[in-house]
Structures are given as structure tokens and as C-alpha cells.
């Protein structure tokens, strides 16, 4: 059964993507029953360079407005690597963007242990696990440790607080275990649909310190793996260069095979990614103790 990935042009510079966001939601047939609980999961990584490192407030606001029209109960939340969700949302301008809709950004909390196939567990937020559906709103970014990240990596933000950083420290230098961890987090969540913000993605490096790249793309899929695979192909990548793609292929996930993907709207060759730079070689995944302490203090001091 082919997996559909919907690609649409978006205005550059980012303006009002309301019509594009609604078209993508219609293409996805994302219409939970009125009253359903839906988590909107943006990418809120850190207060630093938040206007580029986080999902565009215009994109998040457009999706929120469309879902509110459907009578859904929306939770807009994330668990940033550094600082609280409220701190990062303020720095990104997201709190200001969604306030007129009666929404506020909050942190994902209430960890529930998720047993991992390679031993141990990690705390996955019950705020995410108890939803009827998740609408994933990542931003396409180069990544110094994973080369490039989009849909699947953004779901790692459903792990609460400092547990993400502790995972970096515990298994970051252990082969492919970090990619395996992210895949298992994704597979434990309720049904996930994704709208990817690639209007002005981050390239050269990331996930915080990179540079803007004018791609002009919004993309969507009911399968986060398929959406990522489509983007990897658009960027001219192979599984050997992308740890998360290699892990999804190892697991035999259908969306990881480009042959199983169809594009009902725009085709990938409609978007010019020439000049989109990615880090090479990759940096170690492991976090050092001082960085862990600094990140934890920022989270504790956030409101």
C-alpha cells in the first residue's frame, strides 16, 4: 500500500500560510471527531536562535486555527532540550501568535516509563500518550549529530525534561542505540500525522546554530517515516548518511522505502534544494556532564 506525501509551495518570506495549512489538513483527511484530544507538537528546541531553530509561529498558528474550527480539544506542548516550553515559545514569538486563539504553550510532563528493546526505559509524557491523536509540527533542520531531522526526530520531544539529555549521555556513544531509541518512542505514541515546516529550514549545521535556507515548502503525511524519506530524497541523501533513515529501514517500516511513496500534489523536483548544506562529519551524540547540568537548570528556572 503506497504512502502519500503531500508537498505544497509556501510563501517566501513566511507570510500567512493559512490556506496552505488547510489544504494539507484536507489532503491528510485529518478530521478527528469533535471533542477529540489532539496534541500539537511543535519543535521548541531552545531559546537561542528560536526564530529559526523552532517551528515558525505562522505555521503553528495556521494549523491551530484550522483545528479549532473542527471543534477539537487542543494541547499545544513540547519538552525542549533547554529551558521550558513557555520560555522557548516566548523567544520564538509563538506565544504571541497563538494567544488570540485562546491557546498557550506548555511543557509536556507526567513521565511514564517506556521499556526499550535494548534494555532500560525512558520517561514518555502521559500528556502525549493519553491523546486521541498527535499532529506533529517539526521544522526541517540540518543536525550536527543526526545530519538532518524532520518528523521522526521531533517526536523525541515527547520524552519529558532532562531525560532526553540523559539518554544522550547514557547511550550516545553506543553504536546505533540512539536512533533505535527515537524509533521506539515514535512507535509507542498514539496515531501521528505530520505537517512539516520547510518554508525556511535551517541548513549548514543545527539544531540551533545553523543558517536559513529559502526552500518554500510545506509538506504533510499520515506517516512520519514516509514524510522524512521523501525529504531525504528531495535533498539527494541516501540511508547510509542518515542514521534515523537507516534505523527505519532496518525495522522494515514501509515508509522508509522511497518506492512505496506517492506524491498526489507537487512533486519533489518542484523544489530547489541545491545549496542546502549538511554537516559532515557528524559530531558525537553523547552530552558532557556540564551541558546536562546547564540544561537542567534552565528547565528548572523556566516558567
Q: Which of 109, 81, 73, 78 is nearest to 94 (CA)?
A: 78
Q: Do 85 and 105 contact (CB within 8 A), yes or no? A: yes
Average pLDDT, the chain: 90
The b-or-e profile of 119-128 (16+ CB within 10 A means b, else e) is eeebbbbebb
Higher pLDDT, 162 or 69: 69
Helices (H), the chain: 18-28, 50-53, 57-68, 85-92, 94-98, 126-129, 151-154, 163-171, 177-188, 224-234, 243-250, 289-301
pLDDT band of 276, cuts 50, 70, 90? very high
Terminal-to-terminal C-alpha distance of the chain: 46
pLDDT tens-digit series, residues 202-225? 999 999 999 999 999 999 999 999
Cα 300 from chain centre: 23
Range in 64-78, 150-164, 189-203 the model is least confident about: 150-164
Residues 6+ apart with CB under 8 A from 106: 75, 76, 77, 85, 86
Q: Is the pLDDT of residue 303 over 60?
A: no
Q: What cell was used for 10?
A: 509556501
- In this predicted structure, what is the pLDDT of residue 13? 66
Q: Which of 33, 99, 100, 24 is nearest to 71 (CA)?
A: 33
Residue range 267-280: mean pLDDT, rounded? 96
Rounded to whole angstroms, the Cα distance separating 256 from 258 reads 6
> What 3-state class would DSSP assign to 92?
helix
Q: What cell was used for 230?
A: 521523501
Q: Do 147 and 232 contact (CB within 8 A), yes or no? A: no
| Pairing label, strands 105-107, 111-115 | unpaired
Most confident of 16-25, 166-175, 177-186: 177-186
Rounded to whole angstroms, the Cα distance separating 120 from 63 reads 36
- In this predicted structure, what is the pLDDT of residue 173? 58
Q: What cell was used for 104?
A: 498557550
Residue range 152-165: mean pLDDT, rounded? 85
What CATH number should be reported for the domain whose range is 3-288? 3.40.50
- In this predicted structure, what is the pLDDT of residue 297? 45
- In this predicted structure, what is the pLDDT of residue 15? 64
Cα 190 from chain centre: 15
pLDDT band of 172, cuts 50, 70, 90? low
- In this predicted structure, what is the pLDDT of residue 293? 45
Q: Do 49 and 28 contact (CB within 8 A), yes or no? A: no
Amino acid at each position: 500500500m503506497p504512502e502519500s506525501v503531500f508537498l505544497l509551495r509556501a510563501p517566501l518570506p513566511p507570510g500567512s500560510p493559512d490556506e496552505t495549512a488547510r489544504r494539507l489538513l484536507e489532503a491528510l483527511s485529518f478530521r478527528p471527531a469533535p471533542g477529540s484530544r489532539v496534541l500539537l507538537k511543535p519543535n521548541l528546541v531552545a531559546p537561542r536562535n528560536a526564530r529559526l531553530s523552532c517551528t515558525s509561529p505562522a505555521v503553528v498558528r495556521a494549523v491551530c486555527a484550522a483545528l479549532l474550527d473542527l471543534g477539537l480539544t487542543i494541547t499545544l506542548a513540547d519538552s525542549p532540550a533547554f529551558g521550558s516550553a513557555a520560555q522557548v515559545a516566548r523567544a520564538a514569538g509563538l506565544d504571541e501568535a497563538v494567544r488570540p486563539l485562546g491557546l498557550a504553550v506548555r511543557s509536556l510532563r507526567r513521565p511514564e516509563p517506556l521499556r526499550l528493546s535494548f534494555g532500560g526505559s525512558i520517561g514518555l509524557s502521559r500528556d502525549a500518550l493519553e491523546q486521541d491523536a498527535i499532529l506533529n509540527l517539526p521544522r526541517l533542520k540540518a543536525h550536527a549529530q543526526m545530519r538532518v531531522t524532520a518528523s521522526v526526530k521531533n517526536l523525541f520531544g515527547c520524552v519529558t525534561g532532562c531525560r532526553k539529555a540523559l539518554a544522550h549521555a547514557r547511550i550516545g556513544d553506543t553504536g546505533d542505540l540512539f536512533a533505535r531509541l527515537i524509533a521506539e518512542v515514535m512507535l509507542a505514541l498514539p496515531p501521528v500525522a505530520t505537517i512539516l515546516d520547510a518554508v525556511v529550514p535551517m541548513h549548514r549545521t543545527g539544531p540551533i546554530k545553523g543558517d536559513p535556507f529559502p526552500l518554500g515548502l510545506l509538506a504533510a503525511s499520515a506517516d512520519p517515516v514516509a514524510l522524512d524519506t521523501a525529504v531525504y530524497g528531495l535533498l539527494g541523501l541516501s540511508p547510509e548518511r542518515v542514521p534515523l533513515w537507516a534505523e527505519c529501514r532496518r525495522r522494515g517500516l514501509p515508509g522508509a522505502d522511497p518506492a512505496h511513496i506517492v506524491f498526489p500534489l507537487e512533486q519533489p523536483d518542484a523544489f530547489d534544494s541545491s545549496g542546502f548544506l549538511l554537516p559532515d562529519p557528524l559530531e558525537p551524540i553523547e552530552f558532557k556532564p556540564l551541558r546536562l547540568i546547564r540544561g537542567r537548570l534552565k528547565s528548572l528556572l523556566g516558567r
